[in-house]
A = this chain, B = another copy of it.
Amino acid sequence: MTWVASAVDSRYGVENLPYGVFSTPNDSAARLGVRIGDEVLDLRRVAESGQCATCPTCSALRAPTLNAFMARGREVWSTVRGQVQSVLTDPGMEPHIRPMMTPLAKVTMHAPFLVADYVDFYSSEHHATNLGRMFRPDSEALLPNWKHLPVGYHGRAGTVVPSGTPIVRPQGQRRTPDGEIVFGPSARLDIEAEVGFVVGVPTVLGHPAGVDEFREHVFGAVLVNDWSARDIQAWEYVPLGPFLGKSFATSVSQWVTPLDALDDAEITAPVQDPEVLPYLIEKDRYGYDLRLSVKWNGTEVSRPPFADMYWTPAQQLAHMTVNGAGLRTGDLYASGTVSGPAAHQRGSFIELTWGGKEPVTLGDGATRTFLEDGDTVELNATAMGTEGRMIGLGEVVGTVHSH
């Protein structure tokens, strides 16, 4: 039980404790914080209050991004998390800790970590099947490689932005239905609701990370909105994949949820058939039962279930490195659009509106197929934390601005 009143019935209780980077009106330096209830605990001040100014962990906690702390490894992550939980539940610590806390409403949030490489997967069978049906109606919905490997590609790390960053509608080339090549603002601006995993501990080039080493390397999870301009993407993507249809912006939550907070959200992942190659076989195969929510101008239009994902984050990590590609601290890899089997579980608007043919109606009676200027999309997720208390994953919000 924590002494922080706003945390008692919150999805940001002591079971959660995500990490972020913030500043305050009185101190504009970006620094690490932990969210507890509706407040932020200043980790730089916690580190400075100790007697260990020179130890690497305290140095990492005084840095302006999470990267140095994430590089320290699981033992340090667990120790620090345990210490934070301890001071937030010991009433005797309140007089010491209270001055290091600031209400969320008074802080400015920043990008939580410096993104090294950004990889986007395509690991929901329902999503891949939906897109296959729409784009290749006369063929098998899933391509032949899809059940043998987690299909993925590299995105643009430099345009990963924190929640709240305005999304400028991209311009680009597209081909009209009668074959004309035109230029202008995207007319089919979409979202992809995804879950991302952040690498803490790097590898050496040439040495793959094994499928059972996921917890050694991955620090935590974020929510991701992989904004997508479907018209730009459709024209450009053959044969080398998506490029400008995705690279204008990818939003991530301001808070990184540590894997330790998701232990009780682990759930057996779907059985894979055909059997995968040995490097993708997990001793303990699990996914995470994260329940996503997609709000469009305030109306919840979808509840994608992450528990259904065919490929797990451990398999994605193993696949991404099996060729010897090195990991760096700050590498971000996202799941691909999370879609469930039901219509109201689809994580992109192209699926929800079936290619723009079936508009959705929002709470104010307005109808939509793709995003209009001024529209706001908000992603949230909940998961089971310890002691039967639900935790929340930080929201991802973005508003579309005209070019």
Contact = CB atoms under 8 A, between A and B. Distances in A.
A278 B151 CA distance: 35
A178 to B, nearest CB: 14
- Which label, helix, strand, loop or mixed, suits the secondary structure of the A interface? loop
Interface size band for A: 35 or more
A105 interface: no
A154 interface: yes
A100 B269 CA distance: 62
A226 to B, nearest CB: 12
A49 to B, nearest CB: 33
Interface stretch (A169-177, A253-261, A306-314): A169-177
Interface stretch (A90-98, A317-325, A376-384): A317-325
Give the interface centre of A205, A237, A320 by most chain B CB atoms within 10 Å.
A205
A278 B240 CA distance: 24
A159 B248 contact: no
A148 B241 contact: no
A158 interface: yes
B183 A278 contact: yes
A245 B206 CA distance: 14
B247 A172 contact: no
A60 interface: no
A92 B87 CA distance: 68
Nearest to A323: B170
Interface in A150-193: 151-159, 161, 165, 168, 170-173, 175, 181, 183
Interface stretch (A34-42, A228-236, A346-354): A228-236
B238 A240 contact: no
A212 interface: no
B239 A173 contact: no
A237 B403 CA distance: 32
Contacts of A327: 158
Given A154-B153, A236-B151, A279-B183, A171 B244 contact: no
Contact of A240 (B153, B159, B172, B249): B153
Given A153-B154, A238-B145, A243-B153, A171 B322 contact: yes
Given A171-B324, A323-B248, A325-B158, A240 B241 contact: yes
Nearest to A205: B159
9 contacts: A122-B240, A143-B239, A145-B235, A152-B243, A153-B153, A158-B325, A171-B323, A239-B241, A244-B319
